[in-house]
Amino acid sequence: MAVQLLMCNSRKQCAAGRNSWLQGIALSAVVWLLAALSAFAADADHRVKIRDLTQIQGVRDNQLVGYGLAIGLKNTGDSQQTFFTVQTLANSLQRMGVQIAPGVVVVKNVAAVFVTATLPPFARPGMKIDVTVSSVGDAKSIQGGVLLLTALRATNGQVFAEAQGPLVIGGYSEGMAGNSKSVNQPTVGRIAEGATVERDAAVDLSRFRTVSLLLLNSDFTAARDIADVINKDFDKPIAVAIDSRRIDVDVAASGAPSVPILISRVQNLSIEFRSPAKVVVNERTGTIVMGGDVRLSPVSVIQGSLTINVETRHVIVEPAPHSNDKPQVVDETRTTVNDAPAQSIQLEEGANVDELIKGLHAIGATSHDIISILQAIKAAGGLEADLEVI
């Protein structure tokens, strides 16, 4: 490092020179740091950890569902016409030793609900999970209600959790008939940590002989790169790409002391990854989402606007003079055609999404026009990306 000597004639001049020198050093440090960060960012632009691209086969969530009652509503529950609510209430009271006739019960502060929850992997008895409660009858609102003890079952019919507790909803419904106001969904609520896991749903990793990594998006190149980076890190061929989505890692050959340690080591490795070029179109809402890597081949887009307007109006025809006929009403149809001149844009080789959107906006294309244009460009072979319409 070069050392700069400050020569000055007075204390004030020395102080000024020292401050200037320090400011120069600070500025140089900032410039060097920004350059280093830019270089690092350039290197790390497309480095993605394996944990963000894959999941472990056999380690997944499970969906739970149950049917129960929400009570304590303020006259906003199911009406008497919802027979299954009264039957459910009668069955619940019967288990409590109370006998009632379902046909004569009128209760407006009770609503039949479905309760759903997601059981995370490695859930153990005693864990708390969130639940969502949704009305299945004609209840106006379940605000302020309390969910009675409800068993939550998996697809195999076994009970994995029990849910109960006060409901919290993100909306409200007030007023009656035409003078009412409703915000969000007052018939859907949540109970934070409202269910307790009752059955062990954990996967026994010690029995794994092979750890299978499943790519979230099918990609042969990514599968090959993941296998290569694992083999390079362990310095032995323990991973193999089975297909475009699955990579198998041999547990015994890895020499890892346990499967969790092996998975942790593998998941923290990273590969050079670029997302595939893709355009997603929602025709219902006119929403278009494009990746920045979407490229276009040379293409010309011509858009014309032909408007045909047919107008029908009633015309009163007066009778001839000195005639006894009455005035008649006839329909007169008028057709007008407005053919606007076609507008066009031309894109050169390697044009990107930004240039396409700017050009389409320049010719006044709407979102639905752009969807049709994109489909036509794809059909013509000018869109170098997958086009998905949802």
SS (H, E, C) 44-99: HCCEEEHHHCEEECCCCCEEEEEEEEEECCCCCCCCCCCHHHHHHHHHHHHHCCCC
pLDDT computed for residue 47 by the predictor: 83
Are the CB atoms for 152 and 196 separated by under 8 Å? no
Six-digit token string for 318:
């007066």
| Dihedral angle of Cα 213, 219, 220, 224, to the nearest 10 degrees | -50
Residue 247 has phi, psi (to 5 degrees) of -125, 125
Please give the chain's pLDDT, 390 residues, in tens.
444 444 455 554 555 555 555 555 544 444 444 444 444 444 445 788 999 999 999 898 999 999 999 999 988 888 878 888 888 888 888 888 888 877 777 788 999 999 999 999 999 999 999 999 999 988 988 988 999 999 999 999 999 999 999 999 876 656 555 555 566 678 999 999 999 999 998 888 988 999 999 999 888 999 999 999 999 999 999 999 999 999 999 999 999 999 999 999 999 999 988 777 778 877 777 777 776 667 777 766 666 654 545 566 666 777 767 677 777 776 666 666 565 666 666 666 666 666 777 777 776 777 777 777 778 777 877 777 778 777
The CA–CA distances, whole Å, from 356 to 259, 278, 293, 297 equal: 49, 15, 13, 11
Residues 19 and 27: their CA atoms lie apart, in Å, by 12
- pLDDT for 383 equals 76
For the chain, how far is it from start to end, CA to CA, in angstroms? 60
What pLDDT, on a 0 to 100 scale, did the predictor assign at position 27?
46
Q: What is the pLDDT of residue 192?
A: 93
Q: What is d(CA 221, CA 168) in angstroms, rounded to the nearest whole number?
A: 47
| pLDDT in the model for residue 294 | 74
C-alpha torsion angle, residues 311, 314, 319, 325 (rounded to 10):
140
pLDDT at 222: 92
The reported pLDDT for the residue numbered 37 is: 42
Please report the pLDDT score of residue 165 as a whole number.
94
Q: What is the pLDDT of residue 388?
A: 79
Positive or negative: CA dihedral 96, 99, 101, 107: negative
The radius of gyration of the chain from alpha carbons, rounded to an integer in Å, stands at 35
104 DSSP 8-state letter: G
